């Protein structure tokens, strides 16, 4: 049997990355490492957090049709490599992609039985607090991410499930239930 494709999206600061990482560990789901042209943040490691590529390298992969999906998010390219998704699904392994709304809709279009999960906070004030609390991004980047968050929230109705992330453990349980359904 083929694995399930689960796609998690939601605004920056919704806590989706933290929850997705924990759930992947608990369920032994292999990491799916995206490529990006964004510069690494402090502490981020090549090949673990992302494959950090130059814009030329990224565009070469686009021309070689190496991406399952890709999108321009906050002014940088981000993309999932085809082999990451296809090889694992063929092997019967579940795949979780944590990607933006544009990429999620591309992936759903390719694979109609993909399950789309939208993460959000109870209100946007919490998002702003979390983004500022991270202290890794400049004011300009924070503003852009907040603007983008409001746009992303408009896509919630295209998703199969919404998780309002108030408590990490509760959200992990919800995501696990969705995956096992
Ligand atoms: P960050 O810069 O905070 O790591 O990620 C910014 C946004 O890019 C997040 O919404 C994240 O989900 C999205 N993202 C990360 N990897 C991918 C990917 O492979 N494809 C797409 N479309 N979005 C991605």
In the chain, domain spans? 5-180
Which of 5, 36, 50 has most ligand 1 atoms within 8 Å of its beta carbon, as the pocket-test mutant? 36
pLDDT of residue 86: 93
Q: Quick one: pLDDT band at residue 59, thresholds 50, 70, 90?
A: very high
Average pLDDT over residues 51-55: 98
Backbone angles phi, psi at 138, to 5 degrees: -75, 165
Q: Would you say 43 is a known binding-site residue?
A: no
Burial of 41 (0-12, 13-18, 19+ CB in 10 A): exposed
pLDDT tens profile 70-99: 999 988 999 999 998 999 999 999 999 999
Question: Which residue's CA is minimally distant from atom 14 of ligand 1?
Answer: 99
Distance 73 CA to ligand 1 centre (A): 7
The answer on pLDDT for 40 being more than 80 is yes
The structure tokens 């609390």 sit at 133
pLDDT of residue 141: 86
Helices 124-134 and 139-153: crossing angle, nearest 10°? 150
Lining ligand 1 with CB less than 6 A are 12, 34, 38, 69, 71, 73, 78-80, 98-100, 102-103
pLDDT of residue 124: 85
Which of 20, 34, 118 has most ligand 1 atoms within 8 Å of its beta carbon, as the pocket-test mutant? 34
The structure tokens 């696990």 sit at 176
pLDDT tens profile 137-159: 888 888 888 888 889 999 999 99
| Mean pLDDT of all residues belonging to the chain | 93
- What homologous superfamily is domain 5-180 in, according to CATH? P-loop containing nucleotide triphosphate hydrolases (3.40.50.300)
State whether the Cα torsion 73-114-154-170 is positive or negative. Answer: negative
Question: Which residue's CA is minimally distant from atom 10 of ligand 1?
Answer: 100
State whether the Cα torsion 12-14-16-18 is positive or negative. Answer: positive
The answer on pLDDT for 127 being more than 90 is no
> Could you give the C-alpha distances from 175 to 30, 38, 170, in angstroms and in order?
16, 28, 9
Longest dimension (CA), the chain: 47
State the DSSP H helix or E strand holding residue 89, giving kind and residue range, or none if neither: helix 82-90
The answer on pLDDT for 135 being more than 80 is no
The structure tokens 């940088």 sit at 76
Average pLDDT over residues 54-78: 96
pLDDT of residue 19: 97
């Amino acid at each position: 049997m083929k694995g399930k494709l689960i796609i998690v999206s939601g605004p920056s600061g919704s806590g989706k990355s933290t929850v997705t990482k924990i759930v992947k560990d608990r369920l032994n789901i292999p990491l799916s490492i995206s490529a990006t042209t964004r510069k690494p943040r402090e502490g981020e490691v090549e090949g673990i957090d992302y494959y950090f590529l130059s814009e030329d390298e990224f565009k070469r992969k686009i021309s070689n049709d190496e991406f399952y999906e890709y999108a321009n998010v906050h002014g940088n390219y981000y993309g999932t490599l085809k082999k990451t998704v296809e090889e694992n699904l063929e092997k019967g392994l579940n795949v979780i992609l944590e990607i933006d709304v544009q990429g999620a809709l591309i992936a759903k279009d390719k694979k109609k039985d993909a399950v789309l999960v939208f993460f959000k906070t109870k209100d946007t004030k919490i998002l702003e607090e979390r983004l500022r609390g991270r202290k890794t991004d400049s004011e300009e980047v924070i503003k852009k991410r907040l603007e983008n968050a409001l746009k992303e929230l408009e896509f919630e109705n295209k998703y199969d499930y919404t998780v309002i992330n108030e408590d990490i453990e509760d959200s992990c349980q919800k995501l696990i239930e969705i995956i096992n359904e």
